[in-house]
Chains A and B, each alone.
Chain A
């Protein structure tokens, strides 16, 4: 199997490379970084719902919609990206997504451990250190292949990430606070950042133990041609701004189990924004944009009803509607 250890690429190339390899059905492992910052959304997301596009444009932050799963992420030079590309009939590829992540993230965990960082797997596909995320991952089928994509956070610009997202100001500052308390980096864990070459060398050794010997590959004309072809497609508005999944309410994900969920309801007394902070998939904090819309008694009842509930987005939304109707806050019709 081929190893493409590509160093720093421009931001578009850093995404095009693994899509092209998958469409060319070239089983491979790829390491790279992006010279520039960009926001990358998952296949089922629409950048218009996720990103402050004007802010991104003004600050030269690119936007890419990838073909693999997961949510919105800021990617930049302070991360090492890895992609594992295997044919879907490869004997080591499990059918169940969670097994896929668990198996192919083990070399990344082993790499962290060798660096002296006690990272662990946290379902569904985060790697965490003392409960804080240090690596985010996604996967999916591209052409004939199954692809893992992830990054090692060497350092992270929390403010840049939050500013690039389409969020109300109050939610944005809470998002930054939650990221700071739930995300960590190699720099924070070790007090320094080892050379990227050293980290990639450990990564390739650990992956070899799982998937067998790797030989160095180079990006040839055929791969370049495929990248150019895909670049046209991925930069078109019809791809980038394709309709995303219809969602109820707005969910901002910090890491597995940690979210902000909010929604504006048209009540009899005006608009009411209700915000939930969720940790370990449990509702921990509920706030209202306007304390006068509901009576103190109803607000207290709301808190009692929803605090400490297990978070299930659609269920929660329907229960809020039900509560607001039953308590005369919104019309029953």
Chain B
């Protein structure tokens, strides 16, 4: 039996080793790394926002869904939100200076690391697993293609 490690839809890859934040077309991946959660843009957002020319993220305490930064693509500003509550303790300066790395390799280009609050509420906008991700991406593609 072959273990499925990622979905590939219209040339965009969605690794199954992480969760996805889906609120209002956010398209943010989350991956637990020891006691921290790394976040970044998924392949759909990376494709739609080509080329990223600027990205700013602020450190500090955040609530789930709160705006933590902004990005610019083709003179258009998008807002970047935190999928969870906690404290942003680190931002990826290399990626923020070269945001096109996100377009080229979204899953290696983590944007921020968050120390999550101990008491996280269940968030219906955070999904994981093949079926849920497939269903969500297919809906998004219908909207935008």
Among B25, B53, B77, residue most surrounded by chain A Cβ atoms (within 10 Å): B77
Q: At the interface, yes or no: A70 with Cβ under 8 Å from chain B?
A: yes
User: Scoring A residues 133 to 174 as 1 if CB is less than 8 Å from chain B, else 0, what string do you get?
Assistant: 000011111000000000000000000000000000000000
Task: Kindly state whether residue A101 has any CB partner on chain B within 8 Å.
Answer: yes
Chain B residues with CB below 8 A from A137, complex form: 75
Q: Tell me, in angstroms, the Cα distance from A71 to B75 when the chains sit together.
A: 8
The answer to whether A141 and B75 have CB atoms under 8 Å apart is no
Report whether B75 and A88 are in contact in the complex, using a CB–CB cutoff of 8 Å: no
List chain A residues, Cβ under 8 A from B56.
44, 243, 245
Distance (whole angstroms) from the CB of A146 to the closest CB of chain B: 9
Are A69 and B143 CB-contacts (below 8 A) given A95-B48, A96-B48? no
Residue of chain B at shortest CB distance from A148: B76
Q: How far is the CB of A299 from chain B (nearest CB, A)?
A: 29
Distance in angstroms between the alpha carbons of A97 and B75 in the assembled complex: 8
Cβ-defined contact, A69 with B55, below 8 A:
no
Any A CB within 8 A of the CB of B72:
yes
Contact indicator B74/A140 (Cβ below 8 Å)? no
**Given A44-B54, A94-B144, A95-B143, also A246-B96 (CB < 8 A):** yes
CB-CB contacts below 8 Å: B1-43 with A: 24-25
Pair B78/A125 contact, Cβ less than 8 Å: no
Which of A71, A94, A98, A314 contacts B74, CB < 8 Å? A98
Q: Of B24, B76, B98, which one neighbours A69 at CB under 8 angstroms?
A: B76
Q: When each residue 109-140 of chain B gets 1 if its CB lies under 8 Å from chain A and 0 otherwise, what string results?
A: 00000000000000000000000000000000
| Chain B residues whose C-beta falls within 8 Å of the C-beta of A123 in the assembled complex | 74
A124 and B74 alpha carbons, distance in the complex (Å): 6
Closest to B73 in A: A97
B76/A43 in contact, CB under 8 A = no
Query: B72: which A residues are within 8 A, CB to CB?
Result: 42-44, 69, 140, 245
Q: Are B24 and A139 in contact, with the CB atoms below 8 A?
A: no
Q: A139 touching B75 by the CB < 8 A rule?
A: yes
- Which residues B61-83 have CB closer than 8 A to chain A? 70, 72-79
Considering the complex, give the chain B residue whose CB is closest to the CB of A140.
B77
CB distance from A96 to the nearest CB of B (A): 5
Residues of chain B lying within 8 A (CB to CB) of residue A69: 72, 74-77
Classify the interface of chain A: helix, strand, loop or mixed. loop
* Closest residue of A by beta carbon distance from B100: A314
Q: How many residues of B contact A (CB 8 A)?
A: 24
Instruction: Indicate whether A245 sits within 8 Å of B78 (C-beta atoms), given known contacts A44-B72, A94-B144.
Output: no
Q: Does A231 contact B (CB under 8 A)?
A: no
Q: Which of A233-250 contact B (CB under 8 A)?
A: 243, 245-246, 248
- Say yes or no: is B49 at the interface (Cβ < 8 Å to chain A): yes
CB distance from A172 to the nearest CB of B (A): 24
Could you tell me the distance in whole angstroms from the C-beta of B94 to the nearest C-beta in chain A? 11
Residue B89, interface by CB 8 Å = no
With a cutoff of 8 Å between Cβ atoms, the chain A residues found around residue B98 in the complex are: 314
Asked whether B144 lies within 8 Å of A95 as measured between CB atoms, the reply is yes
B46 smallest CB distance to A (angstroms): 12
- Cα distance, A74 to B74, chains bound together (Å): 20
Q: In the complex, which residues of chain A have a beta carbon less than 8 angstroms from the beta carbon of B100? A: 314
Rounded to whole angstroms, the CA-CA distance of A99 and B25 in the bound complex is: 16
Beyond A138-B76, A245-B56, 18 additional pairs, beta carbon < 8 A: A44-B54, A88-B25, A94-B144, A95-B25, A95-B143, A95-B144, A97-B73, A100-B76, A101-B76, A124-B75, A125-B74, A125-B76, A137-B75, A138-B77, A141-B78, A141-B79, A243-B56, A248-B97
12 A–B contacts, CB within 8 A, in A order: A42-B75, A42-B77, A88-B25, A96-B48, A140-B72, A140-B77, A140-B78, A243-B56, A245-B56, A245-B72, A245-B97, A314-B100
